[in-house]
Chain A
Amino acid sequence: MEKTATLARELNIREMTLHMGPSHPAMHGTVRMFLELDGETVVSSDVEIGYLHRGFEKTCENRTYHQAIIYTDRLNYVSPLINNFGYAMAVEKLFGVDVPERCKYIRVIMSEISRITDHLTNVGASAMELGAITAFLYMIKAREVLWRLIEEVAGGRGVTPSYVRIGGVKDDLPEGFQGRALEAFKVTREVLQEIHGLLTKNRIFVDRTKGVGAITADEAMSYGFTGPCLRSTGVAYDVRKAQPYMVYDKMNFEVPVGTNGDNYDRYLVRMEEIQQSMRICEQALFSMPPGPIKIDDPRITFPSKEDVYGKMESLINHFKLFMNGHGITPPKGEVYQAVEGANGELGFYVVSDGSGRPYRLRCRPPCFMIMSGVSRLVNGGMVADIVPTFGSVNMIGGECDR
């Protein structure tokens, strides 16, 4: 014992401070971590965010309600359609209007496709961090197929679809979409099968993820965790089930939960959620009713482009809605609307002063709350587990820092 102490003194062993990031080759987002290390063990850590802050809320408060849509794309840029719909639903709630049935189905389908792409990216990237490049490439193959679907519908690929309009969506689904979507799900299912074979019982993967970055349900709730990170601890909270919006109450699906709240459970929860999302999509594709895709109220929704070019009234309408000071004007009030984003509860809190611009637009980013608990997840673990843990909580800089 004494020998060790003498040796430690002679070798000058002490805790080491290590700065990880903000630009670290293995980090997904720009985030900085200050680590206190004892050998390879993390004694304490501090997370610094904000490197991707671009003033989302301030910008939106100085734009009209429709102009804010494109900024919501860039929140969670891996599943932007969910942000689009969440924001539009908040404004629709402010108006007190309900969108047509077909529009709700389209929104559900597109939300779920986005959720799949998000989970695919996340699972693939987490596996890649543990050395499984093959898994990542397979996942990206499936994501590519799904992004093509999104491109067909929205015009933009993964990051910037801006597909929603307040009171509806931009366009109806293209012809033959159903068949192509089913084909894409077939590809995704095959990929998932392969990934299961590659990872779920892989000795290296299980050893590196099981019991790593674990958190209990109570702590997770105290840190405001939602989404897959909360469900991996065993709490079955999902906004789609708890407070169904759009047509989720008509869909049959399960909310997968884990038990340990570690990286392995987060992986399993996400893998199962992809399956459930495809289930929802297929039900919605087959039960989708025909009908209009936006509200028939010229004070809220834009006329279609063909009408703008072909009808006098629509042209006037369009002009009025786009002119400064003439946009849509929700009544005075404040609402909070939550949707289930890919990372958890994505909330929009909108305060209206009755003018054409949101007086206050607050986005509740699920990542922000999860990042506040990351220090707790990595403390006591090994340095080599930081990057996989950080990967498995799926921090998205655009959403966390806004």
Chain B
Amino acid sequence: MEESLTLKKLRERFPASIIDTHSFRGDDTAVIKRVDVVDICRFLKESPDLSYNFLMDLTAVDYLQMGNSPKEGRFEVVYHLYSLKYNHRVRIKSPLTEADPTIDSLTPLWAVANWLERECWDMFGIRFDGHPDLKRILLYEQFEGHPLRKDYPLTGRQPLIGPKN
């Protein structure tokens, strides 16, 4: 199958940091190394023949139960970008290890990254370097653990909080 323009351009521009590309059911996907995430996203956003100007979604997947070893990459941060001009979508994924789930923040590129990265931290415990205020967003500060990790139990109990007397 022919590779889309976006993936081809990415391969040309960042040959060392692209781990893999594929298109399943028409969704173009590039798996990249985490160190280049900001550069790659800036390239996708600012290069005039791609202009992915929307960060549509940012989330993560915990592959603990799908057999990924914690050392190679237990987590994957998933970015969905959309180009209004060319009406095209691309998915960027970046694996992170269990020992060091850290990736650079995209807040300099998109304002919405602020909240999306906070949610990702809240749910998965992934840290975003350079984020101005990385704190929980949907849960409360006293919550222990990160519920969308696969080792967080479905019926996990949390200590009750209330006003301090």
Which residues of A does B touch, CB under 8 Å?
Answer: 49-50, 53, 55, 57-59, 62, 93-94, 96, 219, 221-224, 235, 237, 242-243, 333-336, 338, 345, 347, 349, 351, 353, 359-360, 362, 364, 368-369, 371-373, 376, 401-402
A349 and B66 contact, CB distance less than 8 A: no
B111 and A96 contact, CB distance less than 8 A: no
Among residues of A, the one whose C-beta sits closest to the C-beta of B152 is: A58
B61 contacts A by Cβ under 8 Å: yes
- Among A58, A243, A345, point to the contact of B148 (Cβ < 8 A): A58
Known A224-B110, A347-B56, A362-B57; contact A243-B87, beta-carbon cutoff 8 A:
yes
A50 and B138 contact, CB distance less than 8 A: yes
A224 and B54 contact, CB distance less than 8 A: yes
Among residues of A, the one whose C-beta sits closest to the C-beta of B62 is: A360
Known A49-B137, A58-B154, A221-B54; contact A351-B111, beta-carbon cutoff 8 A:
no
Known A50-B138, A221-B54, A364-B56; contact A369-B27, beta-carbon cutoff 8 A:
no
B55 contacts A by Cβ under 8 Å: yes
B61 and A360 contact, CB distance less than 8 A: yes
Interface residues on B, range: 35 or more
- Among A57, A364, A402, point to the contact of B80 (Cβ < 8 A): A364
Bound: A259/B51 CA distance, A: 23
- Sampled A-B contacts (7; CB under 8 Å): A221-B53, A221-B84, A224-B116, A333-B25, A349-B59, A359-B66, A360-B62
Among residues of A, the one whose C-beta sits closest to the C-beta of B109 is: A222
Among residues of B, the one whose C-beta sits closest to the C-beta of A362 is: B59
B125 contacts A by Cβ under 8 Å: no
Among residues of B, the one whose C-beta sits closest to the C-beta of A372 is: B115
A336 and B91 contact, CB distance less than 8 A: yes
B139 contacts A by Cβ under 8 Å: yes
Bound: A221/B62 CA distance, A: 29
Bound: A53/B25 CA distance, A: 31
B78 contacts A by Cβ under 8 Å: yes
Convert B121-165 into 0s and 1s, putting 1 for each residue whose CB lies closer than 8 angstroms to a CB of A: 001000000000000111110000001100010100000000000
B111 and A223 contact, CB distance less than 8 A: yes
Which residues of B does A touch, CB under 8 Å?
Answer: 24-25, 27, 29, 53-57, 59, 61-62, 65-66, 78, 80, 84, 87, 89, 91, 110-112, 114-116, 119, 123, 136-140, 147-148, 152, 154
- Among B25, B115, B136, B138, point to the contact of A401 (Cβ < 8 A): B138
For B138, the chain A residues whose CB sits under 8 A away are: 49-50, 53, 401-402
Q: Other than the known A224-B55, A372-B111, A376-B111, what 19 A-B pairs have Cβ atoms closer than 8 Å?
A: A53-B138, A53-B139, A57-B123, A58-B148, A93-B25, A94-B25, A221-B54, A223-B110, A224-B54, A224-B111, A335-B24, A349-B80, A353-B65, A353-B66, A360-B61, A362-B57, A362-B59, A368-B116, A372-B115
Bound: A55/B154 CA distance, A: 10
B54 and A50 contact, CB distance less than 8 A: no
Known A50-B138, A57-B148; contact A364-B24, beta-carbon cutoff 8 A:
no
A368 and B25 contact, CB distance less than 8 A: no
Question: How far does the Cβ of A310 sit from chain B's closest Cβ, in whole Å?
Answer: 36
Among residues of A, the one whose C-beta sits closest to the C-beta of B155 is: A62
Bound: A224/B66 CA distance, A: 31
For A235, the chain B residues whose CB sits under 8 A away are: 84
For B89, the chain A residues whose CB sits under 8 A away are: 336
Question: How far does the Cβ of B121 sit from chain A's closest Cβ, in whole Å?
Answer: 13
Q: Which 5 A-B pairs have the closest CB atoms?
A: A224-B112, A50-B138, A372-B115, A364-B57, A53-B138
Interface centre among B54, B78, B140, B148 (most CB of A within 10 A): B54
Bound: A223/B111 CA distance, A: 5
Interface centre among A59, A222, A345 (most CB of B within 10 A): A222
